[in-house]
Amino acid sequence: MAFRPSLRRHSKEPNTELNLNPLLDVMTVLIPLLLANSQFAKIGVIELNLPPAAGAANIAQGVSGLPKETSRHLDLVVTITDKGFYIASAVTAPEEMPGGGPAIPVNTNGEYDLPGLSQKLFEIKQKAGTNFADPEAVVIQAEPSISYQILVSTMDAARGLRIDGKTVTLFPNVALSAGIL
Amino acid sequence: MAFIPSRIKKHKTAMPEATLNLTSMLDTFTVLLIFLLQMYSTDGQLISPSEYLTLPNSNVEQPPEVGLDVVVSKNMILVNNEKVVIMDDVTANNAAIMEHGIIKPLKERLQYYSSQAKKMETDYGVKFSGKVVIQGDKDLPYFELVKVMRTCGLGGYPNMRLAVYRPE
């Protein structure tokens, strides 16, 4: 029998490759666009509440619309000093460590005990319940040399507390206070 | 005569079709695209952090808002990216610019902006909210921050916001 070359050699394979060029074109446009528009550092803002001015409207009415005589105020004040946090409110006696120290002193290595502050404020929140006209307000004051980061961290600690994966709102309405210059 | 194959033709191999293999590049692009789309926020950049300072970190959830930019860096105070005063003068309570804890040049600048904004409100109905976004360096002492805030209040901007970083 004469030699017959294989037929396979002659069958031309069709070009099965996908044409990816249009996809690539879209990508090259989209990626620079998104890169230019994206912000990698997320920025937020902390809203500050000015202490209410002692104007006529405030004297006539409390925060909740009740006459001022019948509405009680919690008047929570957190004071940041270089020794720690002092806390004062209507439901707590001005708490101090024996020997006149702050309610929540700094750690032995000089760091502020922010979880301790949150915990303490949580206790105050529970003690206060709904008996007060300003259940979410806190006034923060600080010594002149306290750094901005510590102030912001204190606001964070006063704003909420995470317990078992849930966030408990404490005192998000922050006002800052300072002595009269 | 026997057939002699051409020497030239014999060695001329067929030119292979030159195609780049783009698949791997496309894979990279797809991953990048998904990552960038996930990062993308429709808010746009309302606050552009200043290059002169490091904002403090916070776990606040509130998204940024539009307002007048007041930058308090280590060296100077800027309003809308224009230098107003040197920080050393503020810290030292230099009598030329300070008066009862008020930074006079800053107050004048803020009053200029608030009067412009109020004029816009009466002329074109653009609401003036008195919002100001304070970007302070994380090491800024509280005393200096209070001076700036007091000045903002007197300059016609009582609605203050503090800009912070939100690390994931």
- Distance from the B42 Cα atom to the nearest Cα atom in chain A, whole angstroms: 9
DSSP letters of A131-174?
Answer: -SS-TTEEEEEE-TT-BHHHHHHHHHHHHEEEETTEEEE---EE
In angstroms, the separation between the Cα of residue B168 and the nearest Cα of chain A is: 8
Whether A178 sits inside 8 A of B142 (CB atoms) is yes
pTM for this structure? 0.71
What are A168's strand-pairing partners? A161
B146 versus A73: the higher-pLDDT residue is B146
Strand partners, A67: A61
The shortest CB-CB distance from B162 to any of A34, A152, A181 is to: A152
Quote the pLDDT of residue B43. 59
Q: Kindly indicate the confidence band of residue A60, based on its pLDDT and cuts at 50, 70 and 90.
A: very low
Residue A85, classified by CB atoms within 10 Å of its CB into exposed (0-12), middle (13-18) or buried (19+), is: buried
Of B32, B37, B164, the CB nearest to A46: B164
pLDDT tens-digit profile of B8-52? 665 566 777 777 777 888 899 889 889 888 877 665 556 666 777
Nearest CA to B29 out of A71, A51, A33, A67 is that of: A33
What is the chain A residue with the closest CA to B63? A44
**Residues constituting chain A:** 181
Place of tokens 């200029």: B112
| Residue A98 C-alpha, separation from nearest chain B C-alpha, in angstroms | 28
Domain chopping of chain A, boundaries: 77-143+151-176
Would you place residue A133 in the very low, low, confident or very high pLDDT band (cuts 50, 70, 90)?
Answer: confident
Among chain A residues, the shortest Cα distance to B153 is held by A50
Residues of B in contact with A159 (CB under 8 A): 59-60
CB nearest B161 (choices: A35, A48, A50): A48
ipTM of the complex: 0.71
Q: How far is B40 from chain A (nearest CA, A)?
A: 5
Residue A48 has pLDDT above 70, yes or no: yes
Q: What is the mean pLDDT of residues A31-50?
A: 78
